[in-house]
Chain A
Amino acid sequence: MLKMEERPLKESSTVVNLSTNNFGNLSIEKENIITFEQGLLGFEELIQFAIIDVEECLPFEWLVSVKDPDIAFPILNPSLFFSDYKPSLQKDDLVSLNIKKDNDVEMFCIVTLDKKPENVTLNLKGPILINMKNKMGKQIVLTEDYYSLNQQLIRY
């Protein structure tokens, strides 16, 4: 039998609470935390992330750092815009994330924009791979020359 005061303790063992400027207070299920053993390029000290959906931002999502929740990267499933974006994945990437089946892996690209929000670009050269089964992620650098670091999303 559980005593009332034991409940919050039990909750905190499966949930991490983050307080953020952009997204308010977030409760992240620990099982949904994604581990990037090598961090992201330039952010090697940030290992754990969570994907946050904000309704007004969809189809864009946010990759929020657990360690420093005020650091968040806008990400996008590139196939929504580029249906034939299917970069070849190298064996060592698949092995390091323990990816056994194509279905295990999801790919995201990081979104950047400069002062003009319509200058939104997608980094197709350095996509993020996540094994949704074991929640391991990695930012890889593609060897294909034809993928752009800042592919424009919207044309006027």
Chain B
Amino acid sequence: MLILTRKLGESITIGNEIKVILLECQGKQVKLGIVAPKDIKVHREEIFEKIQEENQKAAAVSKHNLIEIAQIWRKGEKKSTSEELVSSKHL
């Protein structure tokens, strides 16, 4: 692993198109700015772990429980979708 020391406001470049800037440093927290082309995906690493966990939970869902949810949904749909379901505005 290449290790570089940087001061606040300084940056590093990776290849021709990627730049990482050290924006802020407070205690144990560091704020980074990343400039990269649109097709380069930048993620916090732990997101992959969290999605793995969600997938694991999903694989454990039983058919019985899903049928229950489907029934609740159908009832809600008959009554009033706007009341019972979280609307997309809450995203």
Contacts and interface: CB of A to CB of B under 8 A. Distances in A.
B59 interface: yes
Interface residues of B, number: 35
Contacts of A81: 85-86, 88
A146 B51 CA distance: 15
A16 interface: no
A82 B61 contact: no
Contact of B55 (A23, A43, A143): A43
Main secondary structure of the interface of B (DSSP, over half): helix
A106 to B, nearest CB: 18
A82 B89 CA distance: 8
Contacts of A125: 47, 51
B56 A147 contact: no
B62 interface: yes
B43 A74 contact: no
A41 B51 contact: yes
Interface string A81-121: 11111000011100000000000000000111110011010
B61 A149 contact: no
Nearest to A120: B69
A13 interface: no
Interface string B5-34: 000000000000000000000000000000
A151 B43 contact: no
A7 interface: no
Interface of A: 22-23, 40-43, 54, 56-60, 71-74, 81-85, 90-92, 110-114, 117-118, 120, 123-126, 139, 141, 143, 146-155
